[in-house]
Structure 1
Amino acid sequence: MALLVMLLVLLLSKPGFSQKNDSKNNTNVIAMRCGRNAVTSLPNFIKNRNSTFSDLRIQLLNQRVYARAQALSSGDSVFAAVQCRNYLSVDQCVACFDDSVSELDSCRSGNGGFVSFDNCYVRYEDYADFYNDPYVMADSDLTPTLLCGNQSASQPTVFNQVVDGFLSDIRDATPKTSNLYVASTRQVTSENATVYVTAQCVEGINQARCQTCMNTAYDILNDCLPNTEGRFFHLGCFARYSDTPFFNVNQTIDISSFLKGHSSKVAVIAAAVAGVVLILLVLLSWLLYRSWKKSKKNEQEFEGAVHYNYKDLQQATNNFNEENILGKGGFGEVFKGVLDETNVVAVKKLLVQHAGVKEEFENEIKLISNIHHRNLLRLLGWSIEGSYLLLVLEYMPNGSLDRFLWGAKRGILNWNQRYEIIFGIARGLAHLHNEFHIKIVHRDIKSSNILLSDDFKPKIADFGLARFQPEDQSHVSTKFAGTLGYTAPEYAVGGVLSEKVDTYSFGIVTLEIISGRKSTEVKCDSQSTDYLLENTWKLYEKKMHVKVIDDTLNLNRYEQEHVMKIIEIALLCTQSPASIRPTMSEVVLMLQEGQSLGKRQLTRPTFVSNQDRRIYIGSSRPKDIQATQQSQS
C-alpha cells in the first residue's frame, strides 16, 4: 500500500529542474509595488489579506499553478491572485509563493500590492477588476521592467539573429496557446549553445491583451541583446530568455503549429548560414575587427543603462551651474538635471584625477547598471566624452538623510518614518550582500549616502567605493576607503574588508537616525566628551539608553520600547570582532519580527578616541589612522 501511495505521488508531481543558483530565483525581486491609498481599517484589511494568502497556498498545494481568492468580512475586502510558471513542481511553486508573501509584508499600510519573481507573480488589491484586466490600475509611472544579464555573446551578430527570430516566434505563439504560456528552446549553432525562452500572460486576460503585452515584451527584450540573458515583466505578462537552462528540455512546447506560415527551422538554418558567412568575413577583416573591438566593448557591457549625449546633459544642468548642485563629495559633484518637463534626473560629474579613473568609472557602471531594488539608487544612464565622466541617476526630491537629522529639516521625521528608513537601508544592504548575483560590499554607508524619495523611502547611493567580494572568501584585504566615524575598526586599521563592514556602518547610521546626532559629534549640553557610539554604550550599560532618543520625537510608551530594541540591534551591529556581528539578512529579520538580541550578549564596542582620533582594539596599543575623513556629500 505504501509503495502504491509513493508511486501515485510521483505520477502527480511535475518533474523538477536543475539550474545554477536556482535557489536565488525566488529572492531576486524583478518588480514590486505597494498600494498608495489608505484603507478604512488596517487590522481588518491585513486580516483579510492573510486569509486570502492562506487560501491561495492551499490551492497551490492541490497541483495548481494559478489561483484566486477573496476575503470580504468586516469590510476592507481583499482580492488576491498567484501565478507560477508552468514548468515548476508543486514544491517550487509554493516556495516562490511563500517568498512573495514575505516580500509583500513590507506593504504595510496601502490598499494592495504585487511582486514578481522569475518563478511566480502574486498580487492583491481591494478590488477584483484586475483579475481580467491587469492594467485597470495603470498609473503613469507603472512602466514595464527589463532586466538584462551582464554577459555578452561571443558572436553577437549571429546570437542576435537567432534570439530575435526566436522571441518573434514566442511573441506570436504565446497568445494562441490554450493557457497563454510557452516554453521552448532553440540552438545557436555558431556558439554551440541552447537558448531557453518562456513567456506567460496573466491567466484571465483575453488573447488581444495578451498579444499587446507580448508585442511590448518582444520590443523591449531586444534591448538586452547581445547579452545572453534577459527578463521582461509587466502586469499582463512575463518573458525570459537565457543560454542557461531554467527548465527541462522535456517541458518544452511545440510552437510551430501556432506560427503563421513560417517554420522556426527556417530561422535556424538561415542563422547557421549567416554564421558561416560571418566567420569568413571576420577572418578576412581580422585586423580591422581588432582595432574596432575595443571601442565597442563599453557599448556591449553597458547594456543595462542608456548612453546620453554630453551636450544634452550639459543643457539639462544649465551648463553644470552651481545653482543646480545637489551635493559634493570626494569623487565629484552631483547636479540636478531637467531633461524635459517630466523627466528630472541627478547627474554625477566625476573628477578626473588620474589615468585609471575611466576604468573605475566603467567598473561603477558595470556594477550598478544591473542592480534593481527599491532601496538602492538606480542608474539611468552614463556619458563619456574626453575627460568628462558622467552618471545619470534617479533624482530624489528630498535629498540626503543627514539634512533631516541635523540639518535645516531636523525634526520633520516622526518615529514611524525613521523606522521605515532603517528597515529600508537594511533591506538594501541585504540585497547587495546576499540577493544579487555576486556579493557586493558598499564600504561607505553613511547618512549622507542615504537619499529619500518624496514619501521618505530610503535609497542607498554612491556605489563608487563598492567592491566585489569573492563568494568563497569571508573577507578580502584592501586599501582603506570610506568615512571615519562610520567605518569598522578592522577595516580602518588593517584594511580587512567583509560584508560586516557594512553591518557596522549600518549600526552607526541607525544610532544617528534615532538620536538626531552625528556619529562624530560630542553632545554640547553634557560634560561628556564621548562620541555617539560610546555615549550610547554607556547609557545602555546603565539601562538608560532611552536618553539616546532624539528630543524632537514625541513618543508614547510603546514607541519608546520599540526604539530601545532598535538601539540594541544597532549596538549588536557594532560589535568587534566582526564575526559576532549579525549579517544584514539577520538584521532584516530582527527588525521585521520585532526581535532584538535573542540569546546574543552585547560586549563593549570598539571606539574612536575623542582626543587623538585613534582606534583602540581590546587592550592592544592604539594605532594611528592615516586616512583622511572625506567630506560628506
Structure 2
Amino acid sequence: MAALVVLFMLFLTNPVFSQSNDRYDNTNLFIATSCGNDAVISMPTFINNRNSTFNDLRMQLLSKRVFYARAQSLTGGDSVFTAVQCRNYLTVDQCVACFDDGVSRLANSCNLGNGGFISYDNCFIRYEDYATFYNNPYVMEDKDLTPTLKCGNRSASQPTVFQQVVDRFLSDIRHATPKISNLYAASTRPITSENTTVYAMAQCVETIDPARCKTCMNTAYDLLNDCLPNTEGRFLHLGCFARYSDTPFFNVNQTIDIASFIKEHSNKVAIIAEAVAGVVLVLLVLLVWLLYRSWKKSKKNDQDTTDFEGAVHYSYKDLQLATNNFSEENILGKGGFGEVFKGVLEDNQVVAVKKLQIQNTGIKDEFENEVKLISNVHHRNLLSLLGWSMEGSYLLLVLEYMANGSLDRFLWGSKKGTLNWNQRYEIIFGIARGLAHLHNEFHVKIVHRDIKSNNILLTDDFKPKIADFGLARFQPEDQSHVSTKFAGTLGYTAPEYALHGFLSEKVDTYSFGIVILEIISGRRSTEVKHDSQSTNYLLENTWKLYEKKTHIKVIDEALNLNRHEQEQVIKIIEIALLCTQSPASIRPTMSEVVVMLQEGKSLGTRQLTRPTFVNNQDRRIYIGSSRPKDIQATKQTRTQKADNIFDVREKGMNVV
C-alpha cells in the first residue's frame, strides 16, 4: 500500500508538459485555477475520495484513450465528483501529462474547501462534492467564476486585414462548434497579405447540450474580438474553451472541415439579406410600430422579458412529445398550480416538466416570477431551471429531474425510515446552504416563502435541492421586511407573516426549523402526538420535551445512533427551536445556521424562548407563552376575541 502511495505522489509532481517539434508548438500554458470555499464533514475523508477519483480518471485516459472522463467516490459521506477534458488534437501522453500537472497543482492549492477547478491550454480538471456540474457546468456555489480572457502582446503587421479575417474565422468557429457531434472544432485560415496562417479551435464540455454550448461560444466570440488585432487570444469559461494564434499549436492534418457546418448559417444570412433588401420599407414601418409599442409597455414588462435569458425556450409541441402528451403514467406530482410530469427530450435528457394551470389572470405573473427567479440562480442545493414555454394558455417549466423525488417520501411516505443519520444531516446542511445563498449570496435577497419537506427534492446521492420558487419574492436590500399578502403553508409558516403579512428572510428560517424537526423525528409538523395530558403537534411536543431536558425522545426510532451522533442530533434540535422563536429578530440568519451546523456548535450564550404554536385542529394560531386554558373561550364573536388569537378560517387561508 505504501508503495502505491509513493507512486501516486510521484505522478502528481510531474512538471508542466511542454513539447516543441518541427510541426507545432504545444507549450501547455497554465490559465486559471479556483478552489471551493465550503467546509466538508471530514477533510481527510474528502481528500482520500478526491485522490481516488484522480486515480480513476488517469486510468480512464490511459486505458480507454479518451479525452473526456469523469469519476466519483462516495465513501464516508464526503462525496467527490471529478471530470477532466483534454483538447482533441493531443496525443494520449500529452493529455495525461497535462492532467498530472493539474492534479499536482490542485493537491497543493485546494485542500481547505469542497471543490476545485484548473485549466490549461491542453486540458481542464474540475472536482466538486455534487454531480450536477457534469451536465450543467454553470451549476456552482460560493464562487463567481467569470469568463477568463488572455490576449497576446504582439500585434499583427497589418492590423486591419488581420482583424477582418480572424473576426470572420472566429465567427465561423462559433457557429460550427455546437453543431459538431463532440462539440469540438479545429481549423486554419490563411492570410495571404501577411504570408501567415491562423490556427483556431473551440471545445465545449462534452456532456452539455448544444444550446448551452452555443451560448458559451457566442460569449467566446464576443470577448476574443477584444484581443484583435493581437496575434493570439484565449477564452475560458466553465462550459467551453476557445483559442486562436498565428503560431501553430496543432498539426494541419488535425483540422476539421467546418464548411458544411457553417454553410447552413451562411445560406440563411444570404436569404435574410435578400429579403431585407426587398422589404426595406415594410421593415421601417414595422420598426416604427415596434418602437411605439415598446414605448407603451411598462418598464416591468421590459425587465421581465430580459430576465428570461439564461433558460432554453421550448415549444409546447416539444414538451408534449417529451411527456407522451402529458400522460397520467408520467405524472410525478400535483401541486396548487398544476402538475409535474416526467419527460424525455430529443437528446434523451430526462427532465421534469411543470405544467401550470391558468385559474386567473394573475397566474402568468406567477409564472414569469418563477422563471425570472430560478433562471438566474445557480447553486447545488437549488433546483435548476433548464427551460420554459409560454404559448397561449400553456405555461410550462422544464426542470432538473430528481429520481428520488421529494424528502417527505423518505420521512413518512413509501421510503419511510430508510434515511440514515449521515444522510439526514447532509440534507439539513444542504437546505441551510441553499437558503443562505438565496438570502445573502445572490445579487438580490430572495425569500422563498414556502419551505417544507415536499418542496425539498433529493438527488441520486440524497443531496437536497430546494424546489418550487413560485411563491418566492425579492426583498429590497434597504428594508428589513416587506408587507405582502399571505401565501404559504400553515404548519411551516412563521406567525408574523401569517398574522400581519410581515415578510423577511426570517420567515424561511422559521420554516427551516420546522423541516429540521421533521427530518429528525420522521413526523409531519401537523401530526398529532398524544400524551397523558394534551394533544401536541411536532413543535409544541418538541418544546415540552426540551423544557424537561428529554428532547432526545424527538429522534426517529428508525435511527440507530451512537452516543456521539445522539449528542449531535440534540444540538441540532436546539438549533431548530432557535430558528422557530418569535419575534423574528431573535432568530439566527441562515448564514449563522450554516456556521453552527458546520462547526457542531449548540446555542452558546443564546437563551431559547417558547416558540409560537400552531393548532390546526381548531384552526388558530396562538401567540404568547401558552395556549388559553379554556379553548371554548376562543369561540366568542370576532369583536370579543383576544388580540393574540387569529382565526384562519375568517381570513380565508388554506390550512394543511
CA distance in 1, matches of 2:38, 2:289: 41
Structure 2 match to 1:233 = 237
Structure 2 match to 1:246 = none
Q: 1:143 to 1:42 in 2, by over 3 A?
A: closer
Question: Which secondary structure state, in structure 1, belongs to the residue aligned with residue 527 of structure 2?
Answer: coil
Following TM superposition, by how much is the alpha carbon of 1:221 offset from its aligned partner in structure 2, in angstroms?
A: 3.0
Structure 2 match to 1:564 = 570
Following TM superposition, by how much is the alpha carbon of 1:141 offset from its aligned partner in structure 2, in angstroms?
A: 6.7
Question: Which secondary structure state, in structure 2, belongs to the residue aligned with residue 547 of structure 1?
Answer: helix
Map 1:507-526 onto structure 2 (within 5 A).
507-523=513-529
Map 1:591-606 onto structure 2 (within 5 A).
591-606=597-612
Q: Is the 8 A contact 2:616 2:655 kept in 1?
A: no
Map 1:533-612 onto structure 2 (within 5 A).
533-609=539-615, 611-612=617-618
Letter in 2 for 1:408: S
Q: 1:227 to 1:464 in 2, by over 3 A?
A: farther
Asked if 1:629 is matched to 2:654, the reply is yes
Q: Is the 8 A contact 1:145 1:233 kept in 2?
A: no
Question: Which secondary structure state, in structure 2, belongs to the residue aligned with residue 334 of structure 1?
Answer: strand
Q: 1:27 to 1:356 in 2, by over 3 A?
A: farther
Asked if 1:391 is matched to 2:397, the reply is yes
Following TM superposition, by how much is the alpha carbon of 1:402 offset from its aligned partner in structure 2, in angstroms?
A: 0.3
Q: 1:336 to 1:597 in 2, by over 3 A?
A: same
Question: Which secondary structure state, in structure 1, belongs to the residue aligned with residue 470 of structure 2?
Answer: coil
Following TM superposition, by how much is the alpha carbon of 1:290 offset from its aligned partner in structure 2, in angstroms?
A: 3.0
Q: Is the 8 A contact 2:510 2:579 kept in 1?
A: yes
Q: Is the 8 A contact 1:27 1:435 kept in 2?
A: no
Q: Is the 8 A contact 2:516 2:576 kept in 1?
A: yes
Structure 1 match to 2:328 = 322
Following TM superposition, by how much is the alpha carbon of 1:312 offset from its aligned partner in structure 2, in angstroms?
A: 1.6
Asked if 1:477 is matched to 2:480, the reply is no
CA distance in 2, matches of 1:146, 1:518: 35
Map 1:146-545 onto structure 2 (within 5 A).
146=138, 174=151, 212=201, 219-221=214-216, 233-234=237-238, 286-290=287-291, 300-340=306-346, 342-523=348-529, 528-545=534-551
CA distance in 2, matches of 1:510, 1:353: 34
CA distance in 1, matches of 2:242, 2:603: 41
Q: Is the 8 A contact 1:482 1:630 kept in 2?
A: no
Structure 1 match to 2:124 = 134
Letter in 2 for 1:343: Q
Query: 1:415-441: CA deviations, max 9, x gaps?
Result: 000000000000000000000110000
Q: 1:211 to 1:527 in 2, by over 3 A?
A: farther
Question: Which secondary structure state, in structure 2, belongs to the residue aligned with residue 81 of structure 1?
Answer: helix
Letter in 2 for 1:488: A
Q: Is the 8 A contact 1:480 1:627 kept in 2?
A: no
Q: 1:132 to 1:39 in 2, by over 3 A?
A: farther
Question: Which secondary structure state, in structure 2, belongs to the residue aligned with residue 600 of structure 1?
Answer: coil
Larger Rg: 2
Question: Which secondary structure state, in structure 2, belongs to the residue aligned with residue 444 of structure 1?
Answer: coil
CA distance in 1, matches of 2:404, 2:474: 30
Q: Is the 8 A contact 1:574 1:581 kept in 2?
A: yes
Following TM superposition, by how much is the alpha carbon of 1:484 offset from its aligned partner in structure 2, in angstroms?
A: 0.2
Aligned length: 459
Following TM superposition, by how much is the alpha carbon of 1:325 offset from its aligned partner in structure 2, in angstroms?
A: 1.1
Question: Which secondary structure state, in structure 2, belongs to the residue aligned with residue 543 of structure 1?
Answer: coil
CA RMSD of aligned residues (A): 4.7
TM normalised by structure 1 equals: 0.63
Structure 2 match to 1:154 = none
Following TM superposition, by how much is the alpha carbon of 1:493 offset from its aligned partner in structure 2, in angstroms?
A: 0.4
Letter in 2 for 1:606: T
Q: 1:461 to 1:627 in 2, by over 3 A?
A: farther
CA distance in 2, matches of 1:136, 1:391: 29
Question: Which secondary structure state, in structure 1, belongs to the residue aligned with residue 653 of structure 2?
Answer: coil
CA distance in 1, matches of 2:553, 2:286: 74
Asked if 1:145 is matched to 2:137, the reply is yes
Q: 1:145 to 1:226 in 2, by over 3 A?
A: same
Q: Is the 8 A contact 1:608 1:614 kept in 2?
A: yes
Q: Is the 8 A contact 2:331 2:339 kept in 1?
A: yes
Following TM superposition, by how much is the alpha carbon of 1:367 offset from its aligned partner in structure 2, in angstroms?
A: 1.1
Query: Runs of 5+ in structure 2 lacking a partner?
Result: 1-34, 40-48, 54-70, 81-99, 141-146, 155-185, 188-198, 206-211, 224-234, 249-280, 626-642
CA distance in 2, matches of 1:579, 1:535: 24
Question: Which secondary structure state, in structure 2, belongs to the residue aligned with residue 390 of structure 1?
Answer: strand
CA distance in 2, matches of 1:298, 1:321: 31
Question: Which secondary structure state, in structure 1, belongs to the residue aligned with residue 588 of structure 2?
Answer: coil
Question: Which secondary structure state, in structure 1, belongs to the residue aligned with residue 615 of structure 2?
Answer: coil
Following TM superposition, by how much is the alpha carbon of 1:42 offset from its aligned partner in structure 2, in angstroms?
A: 10
CA distance in 2, matches of 1:69, 1:528: 66
Following TM superposition, by how much is the alpha carbon of 1:487 offset from its aligned partner in structure 2, in angstroms?
A: 0.2
Structure 1 match to 2:254 = none
Q: Is the 8 A contact 1:28 1:435 kept in 2?
A: no
Query: 1:61-102: CA deviations, max 9, x gaps?
Result: xxxxxxx999xxxxxxx844399xxxxxxxxxxxxx8xx766
Query: Runs of 5+ in structure 1 lacking a partner?
Result: 1-24, 47-67, 71-77, 84-96, 105-113, 116-120, 124-129, 149-166, 179-207, 240-254, 260-279
Query: 1:148-195: CA deviations, max 9, x gaps?
Result: 9xxxxxxxxxxxxxxxxxx9xx98x74x679xxxxxxxxxxxxxxxxx
Counting aligned pairs with the same residue, the percent is: 63
Following TM superposition, by how much is the alpha carbon of 1:131 offset from its aligned partner in structure 2, in angstroms?
A: 11
Following TM superposition, by how much is the alpha carbon of 1:383 offset from its aligned partner in structure 2, in angstroms?
A: 0.6
Following TM superposition, by how much is the alpha carbon of 1:599 offset from its aligned partner in structure 2, in angstroms?
A: 1.2
Following TM superposition, by how much is the alpha carbon of 1:318 offset from its aligned partner in structure 2, in angstroms?
A: 1.5
CA distance in 1, matches of 2:523, 2:546: 17
CA distance in 1, matches of 2:75, 2:606: 40
Query: 1:338-361: CA deviations, max 9, x gaps?
Result: 224731110101110111222221
Following TM superposition, by how much is the alpha carbon of 1:281 offset from its aligned partner in structure 2, in angstroms?
A: 11
Following TM superposition, by how much is the alpha carbon of 1:301 offset from its aligned partner in structure 2, in angstroms?
A: 3.6
